[in-house]
Chains A and B, each alone.
Chain A
Amino acid sequence: MSGVLLHDGRVVGHRKWTREAVQAGCASGIVINPFTTPRVTRRQQPSAAAFAKDMEDLDAEFIFDPMTHARMLGSTNKLDFYDQWELWPNPVPSLASATEQLDHVERVFERQNQLSAPLLAPTVQVSSPLGAEAQIALDLASVASGLKDTAWQSVVGTRSFWAAGSDLDAHIGTLASLRAPVWVLTVANEVVLDSLPDLRDTTAFAGLCRSVRSLSLRSRVIVCYADYAGLPAVAAGADTIGTGWHRAQRTFDPAAFRLDSDTSPRRQASYVTQGGLHAVLRRATADQIERWDAERAARIRGGVMPRTDSEERMHHLHQLSSVVELLNAESSPQRRYELLRDRYAAAADDFDALIRAIPSVGTRDKEVWCTQMSAVLEAYASAEGLGL
C-alpha cells in the first residue's frame, strides 16, 4: 500500500471521516497512537480495535505507532488514554537499561499483535546522531529487530539531527543494516507556531530526503506528519506521507501531547486547498481567486470549489494523494525529481500571477508553500547529481 495515511485525531467525527476518506480512495489507511485513541472505548472516543476493524473491512492499512518519542519528551503529560495501554512496567517510563528497553519493546509488540497491526518498533527523538539519545535509538531498533527481524522501524529527529551531514549518513547506515522492511520517519518540531509548513532549514530537509533515498533502496519509506511538506521526500523515494484534517496531524507538534495546549481546529478560519500550488489558503483568498478568473482558479485548485469544510477535507486529501500517486508512478529518482521540480516551477508561476492580481496572496505564501520546498528538492537533487 502507498499514498496518504491519516494520523490520529480526537476531533468528533474522526472515525467517520476516516472511513469516508478511505472509501473514496483519498487515503490508504490510518496511523493511530496511544495518546489519541483509547485502548477501551470511552464515550465518543472509539477504541483502537474499532479503527482496526474499520480498516480491515475496507482492506486499508492500519498502523499503531507507540509514539514513545513523544512520551519521552519532558513536556508530555496528556496521558489519559496513554496510560491505558500499559506500555511500561513502571509509572515513570525509562529506557536507561537493556532490560527496560526489552520490556517496553515487548509490550509494544504485544499491543500491536492484539490489534493485528504491523510490528512497528518504538524509538526516541534524536537531536544529534552522536549523542546518548542516538545510542538509545539504535539500541531500541536493535532489540526490536532481534525480537522480530521483520519489524518496521522508526526514526524521529529534530532539524539538527537531519542536518547533521555525514554523521546523519553514518547513523542511517547503521540502521539500514537492520534491513527493516518499512521505515517510518518523522521530522520532530520543537515548537509549532502556526499551521504553515516550515522548511526554512534546507539542510535538514535535504538530509531527510537523502536518508529517504538511502533507506528506500531496500525498503518502503513512510514520512509521518508531513502533508505537502513531505513531497520532496516522496520525490526522494518515500511512497507514503502522513497527514490529516488539522495542524497536529499535518506536522509533528509536541504541544499535542500536553494537557495545557489546545491543538483543536481553529473554528474561525476556513481553508481551501490549492492543489496546483501544493498549498492551503484561506477560503476568503480562494473566493477572490475564483472571482478573478474562474477557469484558472479551477485549474489551480484542482477541481470545483469545496462548498463546506467537509468537502474541503476530502478535496485536500484528493489533491495530496493525487500528487503522491503521480510521483509514485515514476520509479527512477531522476524522473521523480523532474516531475516535482516541474510542478514547483508551474506553481511558482501561478503564485507570481496571483500575487500580482490578488491582494491577499503575498510573497510569504509563495515562500512557505513553494520556494522553500523547491529549495529542499533542489538541494537534495544537486547532492545526488540529479539536477544536471
Chain B
Amino acid sequence: MDERRIREVVAEVPERLGLDNAAVLTSGGQKIVLTGELGGAKAVAKIVLVPDGPSAATVIERAHREVELLAAVSSPNVVAVLTDAVEIGDRPDAVCWAEERLSGGDLTPLLHTRWAEDEVWNLLSDLATGLTACHELEVVHRDLSPGNVRRTDDGRFVLMDPGLARHLAKSALTGQFQPGTKGFMSPEHAPGGRPIPASDIFALGVLAFLALTTNFPVPPDIDDADYYRRLRTEQCPDVKSLRPDISDELATIVNRCLHRQSARRFLDGAELSSAIAESGRGSA
C-alpha cells in the first residue's frame, strides 16, 4: 500500500470510529495507533493495514477475532474494546477499532532487573484474573509475552493484543504450527501441539520466572528444534535455585505454572487465581 493511501486510511478512521482529537501515537510495520477521545474518554484507535497477497485474509480474520474476543471479555485485567471492528476501503485496505487508552507501558523494558516479590504476586494475580476471563470463554491467548502485557501507572497489569488467541471449540488445532513468542512458549506450542488454557499458565510462569531472576527457564537463544525439545522433555529449574530469598509459597506457585506436564500445572486462570487467593497474596 502506498504512502498516499495509508494517509487516506488514517484520515478516514477517526470519522468511522467517532474518535475526537485524533493524532498518530505510534506507527510501525502493519500497525498504526491513534490517540483521541471517544465519548469524552481517553481511547486509542488501532489500525491494521491489510497487506497484498495471500496473507490478506488471515490478517483481516485475525483482527476481527481480536475485537470479537475483547468485546466478549469483561475484566479489569484485559484491555477493553470500545467499538466493533470496521473495515476501511473496498478491498479492504485496513481494519480498525477503538480500545480504552491505558497509562504505562509494556513489560519489555521492566524485565532486565529483578522484581520484588510483592510485585510478582501482583503480576500473577492480575494476569490470572485476566486469563480467567478469557478461559471462561474457552479462549486461549497463545502469545502471553512482555509485549502483550501492560503495567499501568497505578500498578495494574493488563492483558493486551489477543490477536493470536483461539477459541478452543471453533478451531481444529491438531498438528498446526502454533504461533507465539520464542522464550514464552509452552510445551504445547511445539509443532504438533495443542495449546490449551494451561499453556497460557506456563507462559505466565515464564514471565514470573523472568521477573524474579532475569533469566528464562528455557533459554530462547538456541535453535528451534532444541528449544522445543527442551520444552517438551525437560522440567524447568526450580525458581528458588536462582532466587533463594523468595517465599516458599511464591516458588511453589511459579514452579507449578512451569510444570512440563500441563495436567500438573494450574489448569487455567481460575485455578491459579484460587491458589493465589488461598495464599493470601497478590492484588487485593
Contacts and interface: CB of A to CB of B under 8 A. Distances in A.
B193 A176 contact: no
Interface string A92-132: 00000000000000000000000000000000000000100
A57 to B, nearest CB: 38
A166 interface: yes
A384 to B, nearest CB: 10
A217 interface: yes
A217 B263 contact: yes
A385 B275 CA distance: 24
A176 B267 contact: yes
A166 B174 contact: no
A217 B264 contact: yes
B104 interface: no
A170 B188 contact: yes
A174 B194 contact: yes
A179 B268 CA distance: 11
A255 B261 CA distance: 35
B263 A176 contact: yes
Interface string B250-284: 00000000001111110110000000000000000
B202 to A, nearest CB: 10
A310 interface: no
B263 A215 contact: yes
A217 B271 CA distance: 13
A173 B187 CA distance: 11
Q: Which among A142, A166, A210 has the highest number of chain B CB atoms within 10 Å?
A: A166
Contacts of A218: 267
Contacts of A173: 188, 196, 198, 261-263, 265
A170 B264 contact: no
A166 B232 contact: yes
Given A165-B233, A166-B187, A166-B233, A172 B192 contact: no
Interface in B169-216: 169, 174-175, 187-188, 192-194, 196-198
Contacts of B262: 169-170, 173-174, 176-177
Given A166-B232, A177-B268, A172 B196 contact: no
B196 A177 contact: yes
A236 to B, nearest CB: 13
Contacts of B233: 165-166
A83 B169 CA distance: 32
Contacts of B194: 170, 174
B206 to A, nearest CB: 17
Interface in A196-222: 210-211, 214-215, 217-218
A332 interface: no
A173 B193 CA distance: 11
A382 interface: no
A172 B260 CA distance: 12
A130 B261 contact: no
B198 A177 contact: yes
A135 interface: yes
A214 B187 contact: no
Contacts of B175: 130
A130 B187 CA distance: 14
Nearest to A169: B261
A170 B193 contact: yes
A174 B174 CA distance: 12
Contacts of A215: 263
Contacts of B198: 173, 177
A166 B267 contact: no
B197 A177 contact: yes
Contact of B267 (A165, A169, A179): A179
Contacts of A169: 187, 260-263
Nearest to B197: A177
Contacts of B196: 173-174, 177
Contacts of A142: 169
A132 to B, nearest CB: 9
Contacts of A176: 262-263, 267
A177 B169 CA distance: 13
Contacts of B188: 170, 173
Contacts of A130: 174-175, 192
Contact of A166 (B260, B265, B268): B260
Nearest to B193: A170
A369 to B, nearest CB: 30
A212 B198 CA distance: 18
Contacts of B261: 169, 172-173, 210, 214
A214 B232 CA distance: 16
B192 A214 contact: no
A177 B261 CA distance: 12
B197 A214 contact: no
Nearest to B268: A177
Interface of B: 169, 174-175, 187-188, 192-194, 196-198, 232-233, 260-265, 267-268
Please name the 7 residue pairs, one residue from A and one from B, whose CB atoms are nearest each other, closest first. A173-B262, A214-B263, A176-B263, A166-B232, A173-B263, A169-B261, A177-B267
7 contacts: A130-B175, A142-B169, A166-B232, A166-B260, A170-B187, A173-B198, A174-B194
Given A173-B198, A174-B262, A177-B268, 15 more contacts: A130-B174, A166-B260, A167-B192, A169-B261, A169-B262, A170-B188, A170-B193, A170-B194, A173-B261, A173-B262, A173-B263, A174-B194, A177-B198, A177-B262, A179-B267
